[in-house]
Structure 1
Amino acid sequence: MKRILYTLITTKQRGVIPTLFRVLLMPLSWLYGSIVWIRNYCFTSGIFKQKQLPCSVISVGNIVVGGTGKTPAVAAIAKLLENKGFQVAILLRGYKRRSSEEIMVVSDDKNRLCSREECGDEADMLTRQLPNVPIVVGKQRYLTGEAAIDRFKSDVLILDDGFQHRQLARDVDILTIDATQPYGTGALLPIGTLREPITAIERADIILLTRTDAIDTQIADLKAELNQLAPNKPILESKHQPTSLYWLNCPDKHATIPIKNLTGKRLLAVCGIGNPDAFVATLEAYNPEAVELFAFPDHHAYTESDLQQIEHQMQQYEAEWVVTTQKDEQKLASLSTELPIVVLAIELVIKDGEEDLMKALQIQ
């Protein structure tokens, strides 16, 4: 049932049942949209006050539920600023984490301090990708920001998924937009995948388009649309670049498989991410014989039963490898399996170059 509901919300399926489902949820969508409008008005007009931290704050977020590349964007920006000599820390809410601690330091600049279950998927993935960047989770970003400044002397804080967290003032609001699905399904939650109306794009200081290599011929039209919605805002392009391929249960993650080995193979793509179709498109760029998608809801916690289903799908489609994402890696690795599962590591690469991003960030 969960998978059926997820599919109905995140796709534009037609038919009697999907249409009835959306009609029944329409009043909730109107109510949700009204609440969002009132909340945004209160912040914009100053009725709701923002708290200010004594350092630079960069927010990275989106207006579509999941899958726009905001967390890879956070990693790319953090690496860039770290290389420029800034003391960077990343603040996350810690979605679906098991720990109830108000403030949890996931990692300092040397060691990991808690498990994936305690901190959540995004924090876990960022910790593995950025071993030298402190990562702190907690619902109240102002409090986690204070903790990061006090403990790590941070001079730049990056908010992961911060576009809607308006309680904390920020110097730069970066909005990530997936070029292949810029407005999601085009409808507000719970009918569709929009967290805010499309007009909220105007609030962004920088628009970062992701997966632009997938729509090269249409990128100019998309930029023109966005210029209408957010005049005179910098629009940067980026792509998701595969960096390595490795076996799920191999203890040495440096023992990689050439990515070109995907060519000619029958693959089963297994993932629990916001935009599974984009993952399939990335795999198809390497010309496998076939790619079959077996998608789970975003942030899915895998079980032994899921592994049995995956094995059944492998046999049904005669797949040679199961390919999964770094976001799913640790959740699958926690289960005992002999299935041939490989992990495709991906990083976000900004096409316009680091200097253009630094200029847009206006951080000296």
Structure 2
Amino acid sequence: MRTTTDARAKSPDAVKPSLSVSVMTHPDRMNAAERIRERLGPQVDVLLAVDPEPDGPRSALRSARLAFSQARESGATHHLVLQDDVEVPDGFVDSALRGVAVHPEAALSYFVEWGSRTAVLARWAALTGVGAVPVVNPYVPTVALCLPAALAGELGGFLESEAYQGEADDQAVLRFVRATGTRALVTVPNLVEHSDLPSIVGNTGHGARRSVSFPAEPSYRDDASVLDVPRLMPFFAWNTGAALVIDTANDVPATQRPALDVLAAWGTDEAALRESFAAAVGTAAAGARVFEAASREQLFSVWLIAVAMGRCSGGSGRTRSPCSAAGWTIPWRRQPCPHSLRGPCASSPTRTHCSTTPPP
């Protein structure tokens, strides 16, 4: 996978970053918010953003609006908003400050949920030693989100005047960063964990919503590298158990294809894949016990995503990834071109092959 470096990181003229913090909370969860304030209090100023309409419709938007607006009077260079169900580790403030030092103009999330699209990129980054990934979710993770203070205050106003009725706060934040041209990134590793408190906004049915990468002693190094988003991205859909390949340039259901079909289009035999999967499970220490937790087909889908990630990251031995923007030359009469995911090659619908050059 390719990476870029944030050119704004540690500019000679950069002001030493400082941090103010707001904790979004609800009257029913004040104890949790107070615990976070006590934990961070000696190092930074922490304000509580208590839902002003606690008996209103379930929504995080009201406290989010207040939390980001509190940046206007913080006096710090950056403002961090935490939700009250985060677990804050030792050394968090120092790590958070290192993050904003290398990405000073970004909307920087210190958490992404392990089943999301962005989590796929985070795993790639962890495997390759990259320090951050772009947000590719249809929302910006807001469990622990830091912005330049002026921009955070502007976001508070946006949530006040521009958010739709019933809109989720993280989706409204995505509209804001797009409107302002702000780059949304997630640190790898994540710097906070999501606890198991019951969801106030109705997400309890989603199951555990844990961090994709939260080590025993999380810290953020001085690393301005950012993973480039691949054109094609393998993705395990946690809500359906399907192994998919997503077109990140046009991420709508119509462009998603089963990973098995895409691997077949790249020349991988399904029977061989299933045989390899069976062999891998059969030699694992857990053995057949894994099938007590999930069906064989679901576990095969998880395994298939690992295979697809290997192919996309160059595990086939080729020097260029089949998931790059250039794609891989392949006939479309039997299999749609995998770099467009839409049937005939997008660059030339009348040709029997893609016009792109295959990897050497």
Higher normalized strand content (fraction of residues):
1
Which has more radius of gyration?
2
Q: Same fold by TM (over 0.5)? A: no
TM bucket (normalised to shorter chain) is under 0.3
TM-score normalised by structure 2 residue count: 0.28
TM-score normalised by structure 1 residue count: 0.28
Higher normalized helix content (fraction of residues):
1
